A and B are shown apart, each in its own frame.
Chain A
């Protein structure tokens, strides 16, 4: 079934069209809802067209890493639950969920979105921040949907109370030390055409893919290239421009 739609996506691209009639640089509708999970310290549900991702932030207290005694720990994980697609299998994380988690993780980390020095409690204890992405419905571009969900969940998280060496999850106050909001924008290349925010069919057809993540300042904080083809310098330039422009719209949607 996928092979047929791949041919179709290629055919359409030759006529300058996309499978869902979008313009080349048009994102699908973005819906962001925060505070959807009461058991999490921060949470967000993001719908990017028909892709649905829930992010949950959990905080716990642990020891700092020996080489970074003054810093808290931030980790992003992703689970592509088998509800989300007929082809997702239950079991340990596959390469696709690992890539989504790693790219979102690097974006959040390298942007210094969370000031990890502000997560230090004392010499032996720091906050450990886990962001878990739960994919509920898959229609392509998990990286951008996961990034938006993670950023929205972190930005709205409330810290639990830490007293007498114990975490009290019933009392939450104060936010995480947020310094910026990194936004990622993914573009794929199909037949030499550049399509932003690929749908499932476009992603499966794509010859190459680039994710660009941009901070509030407009600076780029992470890049990830995927796919078996290369990009020309002109193409890279074009994709960086698309990312700058689109990240503004997505950032506005976060508010």
Chain B
């Protein structure tokens, strides 16, 4: 039994909403337990500085940022090494599903704000960004869903909280694009056997499929009210 009473392969309470902001061309809110992320997308739009322009495809820019009040100890505002790395791996996780070659030379900006952090912030960020991209009408091959899995006290567990992350032998965030059947983000630090890693990834992919259903539902919900 887990601290919060969940089964091993059960997600935390998951809330996804599409189209939460007025100015951003696409936006989304994602709550996974006590982790809350919002994402906003602008573009395709003209890209500066010019040297970033690519004649072959659109340039995907991602900025992952934690609000100063999102953690127990206040996070100093601004980008640090951790947030820059996460921004990069999130952009790489999303790019495979985006038809970037349809938009040479332009930029697509993805902004992710973590409002409340309780582990799994990069996964919540990817889930929000993916829905925000679709909400912005960016042509995509499908959505990307993400969730972490790990091994705690001999059990493979899905969607770890901060307390569980402390106890785990390894925490493995996975992003998965169901339409491509491909893993688009995979990170790990810890100590796991070959078999454990395979099992943890499988648990995470099953979790991603559940997250994916909720993402699709959120996008449908946005338009449900306006259909005749």
Q: Which residues of A are at the interface with B, using a C-beta cutoff of 8 A?
A: 37-40, 43, 50, 52, 54, 56-58, 60, 77, 79, 81-86, 90, 92-93, 130, 132, 134, 136-139, 169
Cβ of B221 to closest chain A Cβ, rounded Å: 20
B22 touches A137 (CB 8 A): yes
A90 touches B111 (CB 8 A): yes
A83 touches B38 (CB 8 A): yes
Closest to A57 in B: B69
B34 adjacent to chain A (CB < 8 Å): yes
Q: In the bound complex, what is the Cα–Cα distance between A158 and B39 (angstroms)? A: 29
**A54 contacts which of B63, B67, B77 (Cβ < 8 Å)?**
B67
Interface size of B by CB at 8 A reads: 32
Chain A residues whose C-beta falls within 8 Å of the C-beta of B71 in the assembled complex:
39
B22 touches A43 (CB 8 A): no
Chain A residues whose C-beta falls within 8 Å of the C-beta of B173 in the assembled complex:
none
A77 touches B77 (CB 8 A): yes
Contact A81 B117, CB 8 Å, known A39-B71, A40-B69, A138-B23: no
Residue among B42, B69, B113 with max Cβ neighbours from chain A (10 Å):
B69
Contact A39 B111, CB 8 Å, known A54-B67, A134-B67, A137-B23: no
Q: In the bound complex, what is the Cα–Cα distance between A139 and B40 (angstroms)? A: 16
Contact A37 B115, CB 8 Å, known A58-B68, A81-B65: yes
Chain B residues whose C-beta falls within 8 Å of the C-beta of A79 in the assembled complex:
67-68, 77
A82 touches B109 (CB 8 A): yes
B198 adjacent to chain A (CB < 8 Å): no
Interface of B: prevailing SS: loop
- Tell me the B18-44 residues at the A interface (CB within 8 Å): 21-24, 27, 34, 36, 38-40, 42
A52 touches B21 (CB 8 A): yes
Chain A residues whose C-beta falls within 8 Å of the C-beta of B65 in the assembled complex:
81, 90
Closest to A136 in B: B21
Q: In the bound complex, what is the Cα–Cα distance between A77 and B69 (angstroms)? A: 11
Q: In the bound complex, what is the Cα–Cα distance between A43 and B40 (angstroms)? A: 22
B67 touches A132 (CB 8 A): yes
Q: List 8 A-B contacts (CB under 8 A).
A: A37-B115, A58-B69, A60-B73, A81-B65, A82-B40, A134-B69, A136-B38, A137-B22
**A77 contacts which of B38, B68, B72, B113 (Cβ < 8 Å)?**
B68
Q: In the bound complex, what is the Cα–Cα distance between A86 and B21 (angstroms)? A: 12
Cβ of B190 to closest chain A Cβ, rounded Å: 25
Cβ of B58 to closest chain A Cβ, rounded Å: 17
Q: In the bound complex, what is the Cα–Cα distance between A100 and B161 (angstroms)? A: 35
Chain B residues whose C-beta falls within 8 Å of the C-beta of A90 in the assembled complex:
63, 65, 79, 111
Q: In the bound complex, what is the Cα–Cα distance between A139 and B113 (angstroms)? A: 19
B154 adjacent to chain A (CB < 8 Å): no
